[in-house]
């Protein structure tokens, strides 16, 4: 008995260490529930004519009578307007828990899972590359300009930050697609790769992937770079006042090394959480950017589905993107306390 109690206490102590993690996990799960309810509301508010037109489409495609097609359509979509709201919600949840995000009602009843599987890698490709470029370049510029605050470079950076805040990212995207794709013709204006090249793991294909992603990456980097350099400047300004920087200066350590090893490393810590959040922001902003560049990713599929009123695709992509964003946020919150011991002690 004593042993059991001791063990239980130990388990409790172990779990108690992670109490903040559990609190955050709980909040994440509740947020997820809110998203699920939102997407369910979207489906419930769907006008009935949507089902009718879907059934028409089915009856033409499969050469079956309209009544049969109607029954089939309702089965395929799990759509049952006669049953109660609660039982519809239960069915909806069941489908979600089976990993079934629904099917497209406009695009040949293609499953949303397949749409996501096809398009997710492209969105991930563009957003992760541009995030990496803007993060490393931005933190570099930010720490440099904080160190030499009155130099010409920092004035230029300030000017750039204000301009890029004033011009929304999608408008910058419009400008560069006009100049580089339509006017100069250096870059393609749509698509993710050259249709003439056989997709596969070969050099020409990979090069064409990068070539087609250049303009979207440029647009993302333009808007993200100012954010990172601004954040880095703010964070580095705080670090600059710390005693260890003064001590390093007094010890005669070269400035280059102070910037690189003392200033930058310490100032970068709080930005790691931001990294995850901005990944989410990029994912959320993808509909606009991708539809301007005609880049076939999740975002473009989403905005197209909105315009076509393809309700199931909309809720499927919304759910998927929200799960990613929520998960990434949770991950960032958790990992932050491990990489920065100061936070762990104070919380």
Partner 1 sequence: MENVGGRSKKILLGIFVKLKKFFSSLFKVFFGNKLSGMGTSILVFFILLGIIGPYIFPYSTSISMEDQLLAPSFIHPFGTDLWGRDIFRQIVAGTSDVLSIAFLAAIFSVVLALVLGMFSGIVGGFFDKFIMFVTNVFLTIPSLPVFLILAAIFTVDNAVTFAIILSIFSWAGMCRSIRAQIISLKERDFIQICKVMKMSKGHIIFKELLPNVGSYILINFIIVMKNAITGSVGLMLLGVASFEPTNWGAILTSAKNNGALINPHSYMWLFAPILCIAIFQLGVIILSKGLDDTLNPRLRVM
Residue 75 makes contact with partner 1 by CB under 8 A: no
Residues 321 and 283 sit within 8 Å (Cβ to Cβ): yes
Closest CA to 223 of 167, 280, 178: 167
CB of 13 or CB of 30, closer to partner 1: 30
Residue 294 makes contact with partner 1 by CB under 8 A: no
CB of 33 or CB of 257, closer to partner 1: 33
Using CB under 8 A, pick the residue from 72, 133, 272, 281 that binds partner 1. 281
Q: What mask of x and - would describe binding to partner 1 in positions 153 to 172, judged by CB under 8 A?
A: ---------xx-xxxx-xx-
Minimum separation from the CB atom of position 293 to partner 1 (A): 11
Contacts of 69 (CB under 8 A, 6+ apart): 55, 56, 58, 59, 62
Interface region with partner 1, contact rule CB under 8 A, candidates 84-92, 96-104, 258-266, 301-309: 301-309
CB atoms within 10 A of CB 124: 15
Minimum separation from the CB atom of position 127 to partner 1 (A): 12
Alpha-carbon distance values, 174 to 134, 169, 178, 290 (Å) = 20, 9, 6, 11
Start-to-end CA span in the chain (Å): 34
Contacts of 328 (CB under 8 A, 6+ apart): 276, 277, 279, 280
Closest CA to 271 of 240, 241, 227, 330: 227
User: Could you give the CA distance from residue 4 to residue 2 in angstroms, rounded to a whole number?
Assistant: 5
* Total binding residues toward partner 1, as defined by CB under 8 A: 46
Minimum separation from the CB atom of position 303 to partner 1 (A): 5
Interface region with partner 1, contact rule CB under 8 A, candidates 52-60, 65-73, 267-275, 324-332: 324-332
Minimum separation from the CB atom of position 31 to partner 1 (A): 5
Q: Which residues sit opposite 103 in a β-bridge? A: 111
Residues 280 and 323 sit within 8 Å (Cβ to Cβ): no
Minimum separation from the CB atom of position 241 to partner 1 (A): 9
CA dihedral 121, 127, 130, 134 (to 10 degrees): -150
Residue 309 makes contact with partner 1 by CB under 8 A: yes
> What is the secondary structure of 106-128 as a DSSP string?
SSTT-BHHHHHHHHHHHHHHHHH
Using CB under 8 A, pick the residue from 30, 195, 196, 198 that binds partner 1. 30
Residue 70 makes contact with partner 1 by CB under 8 A: no
Minimum separation from the CB atom of position 17 to partner 1 (A): 23
CB of 204 or CB of 270, closer to partner 1: 270
The footprint of partner 1 (CB under 8 A) covers: 27-28, 30-31, 34-35, 38, 42, 45, 162-163, 165-168, 170-171, 174-175, 177-178, 182-183, 237, 280-281, 283-285, 287-288, 291-292, 302-303, 306-307, 309, 314, 317-318, 321-322, 325-326, 329
């Amino acid at each position: 008995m004593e042993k059991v109690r001791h063990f239980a206490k130990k388990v409790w102590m172990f779990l108690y260490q992670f109490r903040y993690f559990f609190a955050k996990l709980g909040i994440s799960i509740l947020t997820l529930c809110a998203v699920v309810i939102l997407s369910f509301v979207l489906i419930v508010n769907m006008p009935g004519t949507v089902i009718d037109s879907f059934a028409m489409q089915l009856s033409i495609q499969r050469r079956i009578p309209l009544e049969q097609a109607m029954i089939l359509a309702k089965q395929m979509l799990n759509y049952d307007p006669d049953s109660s709201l609660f039982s519809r919600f239960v069915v909806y949840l069941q489908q979600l828990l089976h990993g079934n995000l629904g099917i497209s009602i406009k695009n040949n009843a293609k499953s949303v899972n397949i749409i996501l599987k096809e398009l997710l890698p492209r969105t991930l490709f563009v957003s992760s590359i541009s995030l990496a470029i803007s993060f490393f370049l931005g933190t570099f510029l930010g720490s440099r300009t904080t160190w030499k605050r009155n130099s010409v470079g920092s004035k230029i950076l300030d000017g750039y930050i204000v301009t890029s805040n004033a011009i929304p990212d999608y408008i910058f995207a419009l400008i560069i697609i006009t100049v580089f794709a339509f006017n100069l013709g250096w870059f393609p204006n749509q698509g993710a790769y050259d249709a003439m090249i056989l997709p596969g793991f070969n050099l020409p294909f990979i090069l064409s992937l990068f070539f087609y992603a250049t303009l979207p990456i440029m647009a993302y980097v333009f808007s993200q770079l100012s954010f990172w350099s601004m954040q880095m400047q703010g964070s580095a300004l705080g670090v600059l006042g710390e005693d260890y920087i003064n001590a390093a200066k007094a010890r005669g350590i070269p400035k280059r090394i102070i910037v690189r090893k003392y200033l930058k490393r310490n100032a970068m810590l709080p930005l790691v959480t931001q990294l995850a959040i901005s990944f989410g922001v990029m994912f959320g902003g993808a509909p606009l950017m991708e539809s301007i560049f005609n880049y076939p990713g999740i975002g473009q599929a989403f905005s197209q589905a909105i315009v076509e009123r393809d309700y199931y695709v909309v809720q499927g992509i919304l759910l998927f993107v929200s799960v990613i964003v929520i998960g990434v946020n949770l991950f960032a919150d958790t990992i932050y306390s491990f990489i920065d011991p100061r936070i762990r002690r104070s919380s």
